[in-house]
Each structure stands twice: as C-alpha cells, then as structure tokens.
Amino acid sequence: MTVYLYYHGMKLHALAYSIAHKIPFPESLIVTSAEVNDLTAFKQAFGETLFDRTVFGDKSFSDREYFSEKETSNNFTMLTPVKLVKGEPENIRQREKA
C-alpha cells in the first residue's frame, strides 16, 4: 500500500486595531497561498488604502524605500524589528539600534 501526502499551504493575513487591555480587533483578513511573501500580500491588499496610522509588522516588512514613500504621502508608518546580521559584533548591533 502506497500512501501519498499532499500539503496545501495557506496563510491568513490580518490587519487589526489595537484596543487598550483587549485583544486586537480585526479590520481586514485575507487568505493567500503559503508561497506568497507577506510583504507582497500586504502591498496588494492594504498598500493603497492605509492613511494616518502606525502599523507594527515583523521582519518581513523591512522595506525602507517603500514605507518611507508611504510615510510622506499617506502619513503611514511601519514599525519593524531590526534585522540582525550573522556574525556582526555586539557593539555594532547596539549602535545600529539607536
């Protein structure tokens, strides 16, 4: 007997409001194939519709050129963690965080 396994990957992307002392409230949800990059999905779904807000994203949203243009035109800011470079000395990491 031969058993075949097939995986059908999907991602759920959520854009949610922050509410004090409560879990975030979803504003928009989209589903994409697992192979779609998070930043690409964000740009296609929300890129032209977000104005006057600050959004927190993970490291996959580190596209300074794209978001600096949005900051000027839409008053939109994307905050992401700093990407670490493998093998980089700790003193340089700390200096780049400032």
11 Cβ partners below 8 Å, 6+ apart? Answer: 31, 32, 33, 34, 36, 38, 41
Kindly state the average pLDDT of the residues 80-96.
73
Which residue is it, tokens 């939109």?
76
pLDDT tens across 61-76, in order? 888 888 888 888 999 8
Q: pTM surpassing 0.85?
A: no
d(CA 98, CA 93): 9
| Per-residue tokens: 6 | 């097939």
